[in-house]
Structure 1
């Protein structure tokens, strides 16, 4: 037990002495949380400026322009007769999109021949471009439905029947777990958890690499697996407590600060967070054992955030990925945890609703211990002959 506390104290000393670890685990979580959160602080955008290029100059094209201007999310900031003129304001970022109404727009539309309405978007801001695209589609579909209805009425079809024939399928969108129906509320909670995951991986990984090169694990051949686990447990105990506290602070303070929904039992959230943190630490220990320098570890892991997020299945269905990526995704602790968190925080699920994810996390912890044991035997077998050679 004295050895355990000795390792625990030396870990605290390492954290305080190593500025890289110190900044990663103590400053970075809050810095990135408020930085990333501020990007989505205004999760609903409105009055997005767009330009309209009217090549038809007809009553219908002017009506469409008016409908676009009065839509909830966008506002027409310029009317142009040529695309080249509209591109000036678009390139200067005075407008975020250009709607092009072609020649003969009214004639082709009224004759039910159809018209090709073009839309140019600034996709550097996906939230605004998405809202422009949806708003323009709604306007065009409304106009097209109205034209078809007038056509049917002119052919002596009763008004009610004309409505049904003009729009036989009426879409009804009801947001259940994302009441504001915007991408910010959907994405930001997981990004905040991703910040905790990545800072833990980078910070604890640096400590593990340092331990293999300068600490007790430098003489691994003298240790059995129990001693090896004792070292990692003592080193990771501080991180488990620290990041469990981070999860609590994020859930109770940062989530409400950004008006993010958080349902479910806080105790269940924290219990599952412990499983998640443990799995992350196990796999971090495993992969960090392959690195020789902390700089190399940091350089590689610093670029892993976005790929790990994409593969986790939160932004893209895992079933739609290639088989190899599906296997990789299912060995990531973030894959079941993101799903669990979503069910708890947004849907208010109970433990029996998330049993599959819970079991998945447990299995990942057990598998992590197994592969860590295999890795320990391999390193010890490789290191032991070296010690023999040195002694002779």
Structure 2
């Protein structure tokens, strides 16, 4: 008898779980708002970002020049800058005010200022200074201008050294100016492309943020449709905490298993981005990340009482989360508080682990810190989801009991009035 009752409980639990899963999938595809965040945004956002940065690097950034030196060495320096593939000297201005006007009008993105004493300082054997002003609305413009100016300065410095050495052989000049020859190559991103650097991190973040928004909107919809603004309906299928949490999370996992395959595999393939991950390693890493994101989103959805609230709460967090992950800003420069704060979010470990697996060919052993952290987050957020959903179940039962009591009181009053 005990065996039969146990089997009955298991069968009922599984039946309830799959019923909740099917019902959640049905709600997702019926709700246009949730469908946008679960399907449309993950399909289009990666393409949008990849299209924007598909050129990888910025070439021929227009710049203005203010040359108060008007010497042969200053002109030579400017020719070296203009000869680089990154910068194009578009205008020669009489003063800084004229150059600033060009920046304001958007005709140039930077100003190269050479002071009057530039050639005199060099002739006297002193250090000369060149000022570089840049429109910081585009970091790639700043990088192009800075690298071009730096390389031109190094070349001028090398030529000055050769002149001062006097009558020497070509080999002696080479040894004295460059005792050790080297060729700088960026590891895992030899073309210094912005897309190869940023897009993998953005793809991982899109998964977390769309889950937060979609699950939050679904929770807001459930509360708006409920008479008592409860997250869990008073229904016989919605009785056990585990079956509710597992049923809902299974529905989201089924959707995002397909979405993640598209975002992490198809999109990089379309735009020829770096993709050297082993399929088994990538699958093993993405599973705990998806679970952590789903349970984290379900826990956070407890705070959403209206459909629109999730957009106001979560959308603005995307950029800060990208910065504190340590990808777009050096991890060593992030303050300890923000570094610890970033551990709350699955995206921190997901971004760092995925970039190392996808772009650097790392194995699970190489990213074991991130891998174990994601499983830990999945476990912790699963427990928190169960706790908040258990509270919601009890709240829903309390409201159902109150409703029954009110109905009984109304019936009693109705009977009394009939007798009277």
Fold similarity call, TM over 0.5: yes
Is 2:273 the partner of 1:273? no
Q: Distance in 2 between matches of 1:292 and 1:336?
A: 29
Which residue in the other structure is 1:136 paired with?
149
Superposed displacement of residue 359, structure 1: 1.0
Q: Which of 51, 63, 79 does residue 50 from structure 1 map onto?
A: 63
Asked whether the 8 Å contact 1:205–1:284 carries over to 2, the reply is yes
Asked whether the 8 Å contact 1:52–1:79 carries over to 2, the reply is yes
Change in CA separation of 1:193 and 1:219 when aligned onto 2, cut-off 3 Å:
same
1:1-392 equivalent positions in 2, closer than 5 A: 1-151=14-164, 153-154=165-166, 172-211=183-222, 214=226, 217-219=232-234, 227-376=240-389, 379=392, 391=405
What per-residue deviation string (whole Å, max 9, x for no partner) do you get for residues 250-304 of structure 1?
Answer: 3332102222101122232123212111101111111111222222122211111
Superposed displacement of residue 28, structure 1: 1.0
Alpha-carbon RMSD: 2.8
Asked whether the 8 Å contact 2:204–2:350 carries over to 1, the reply is no
Change in CA separation of 1:229 and 1:314 when aligned onto 2, cut-off 3 Å:
farther
Q: Distance in 1 between matches of 2:279 and 2:97?
A: 56
Change in CA separation of 1:72 and 1:202 when aligned onto 2, cut-off 3 Å:
same
Superposed displacement of residue 102, structure 1: 0.9
Which ranges in structure 2 are unaligned for 5 or more consecutive residues? Answer: 1-13, 407-420
Q: Distance in 1 between matches of 2:329 and 2:19?
A: 45
Change in CA separation of 1:275 and 1:74 when aligned onto 2, cut-off 3 Å:
same
Q: Distance in 2 between matches of 1:149 and 1:175?
A: 29
3-state DSSP class of the match of 2:136?
coil
TM-score, with normalisation over the residues of structure 2?
A: 0.83
Q: Distance in 2 between matches of 1:212 and 1:135?
A: 57
Asked whether the 8 Å contact 2:249–2:295 carries over to 1, the reply is no
Count of aligned residue pairs for this structure pair:
388
Superposed displacement of residue 175, structure 1: 1.7
3-state DSSP class of the match of 2:54?
coil
3-state DSSP class of the match of 1:52?
strand
3-state DSSP class of the match of 2:303?
coil
Higher relative CO (Cα under 8 Å, sequence separation at least 6) belongs to 2
3-state DSSP class of the match of 1:98?
strand
Asked whether the 8 Å contact 1:50–1:78 carries over to 2, the reply is yes
